[in-house]
């Protein structure tokens, strides 16, 4: 695994003993943390209790509601609480699984190039930081108790989960990962 220089998403509180990374898509063309949070607050669990809000730990934008490639941690990540994203018979996928959701419907089109790069860097960083093996990076459809296509047939899981030969330097003001000073300068000049 290529070392990550820093982890800009490291929480300020003690980390959970993370074991999995679960990958999702919104199945919508637009979205952001606030809109997903509002939708999830309308949901109820099996006991009829309302959700706390957004079920994912991270959301990655596609340029429609969030900057393309921006990675935004949610309150669940910042406070290191369990997710509400897996829908699995196995509770560990929510309790110990980091939920990453990309805005988009990957049944219709693949993630943007910026989203792919961002999710690769985020997955690489989280795997390294929390010692998560490659085989524990799973698409939602492989663990959900009921049928789902999430994160979609055009989601490039092999490319996302493979080692990414870049060093993450940090994130820009929009939350987009910066892996080189040249890339940061290029975005600034646009």
| Separation between Cα atoms, residue 148 and residue 116, nearest integer Å | 21
pLDDT band, residue 1 (cuts 50/70/90): very low
Query: Is pLDDT of 181 > 90?
Result: no
Domains of the chain, by residue range, sit at: 20-189
Under CATH, what is the fold of the domain 20-189? Answer: Lysozyme-like (3.40.80)
Q: What is the pLDDT of residues 83-123, one digit of tens each?
A: 989 888 888 999 999 999 999 999 999 999 999 999 999 99
Q: What is the pLDDT of residues 29-79, one digit of tens each?
A: 999 999 999 999 998 878 898 889 999 999 999 999 999 999 999 999 999
| Separation between Cα atoms, residue 66 and residue 55, nearest integer Å | 18
- pLDDT the model gives residue 169: 62
**What pTM did the predictor assign?**
0.85
3-class secondary structure per residue, the chain: CCCCCCCCCCCCCCCCCCCEEEEEECCCCCCCHHHHHHHHHCCECCCCCECCCCCCCEEECCCCCCCCCCEEECHHHHHCCCCCCCCCCCCHHHHCEEEEEECCCCCCCCCCHHHHHHHHHHHHHHHHHHCCCHHHEEEHHHCCCCCCCCCCCCCCHHHHHCCCCCCCCEECCCCCEECCHHHHHHHHHC
φ/ψ of residue 117, rounded to 5: -65, -45
């Amino acid at each position: 695994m290529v070392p990550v220089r820093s982890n800009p998403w490291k929480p300020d509180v003690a980390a959970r003993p993370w074991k999995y990374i679960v990958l999702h898509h919104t199945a919508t063309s637009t979205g952001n943390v606030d809109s997903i949070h509002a939708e999830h607050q309308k949901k109820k669990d099996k006991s009829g209790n309302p959700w706390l809000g957004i079920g994912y730990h991270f959301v990655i934008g596609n340029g429609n509601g969030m900057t393309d490639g921006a990675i935004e941690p949610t309150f669940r990540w910042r406070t290191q609480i369990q997710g509400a994203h897996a829908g699995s018979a196995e509770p560990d996928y929510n309790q110990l699984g980091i939920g990453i959701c990309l805005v988009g419907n990957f049944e219709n089109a693949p993630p943007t190039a910026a989203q792919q790069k961002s999710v690769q860097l985020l997955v690489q960083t989280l795997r390294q930081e929390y010692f998560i093996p490659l085989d524990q990076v799973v698409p939602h459809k492989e663990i959900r108790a009921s049928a789902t296509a999430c994160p979609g047939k055009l989601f490039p899981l092999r490319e996302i989960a493979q080692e990414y030969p870049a060093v993450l330097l940090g994130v820009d003001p929009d939350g987009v990962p910066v892996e080189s000073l040249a890339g940061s300068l290029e975005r600034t000049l646009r």
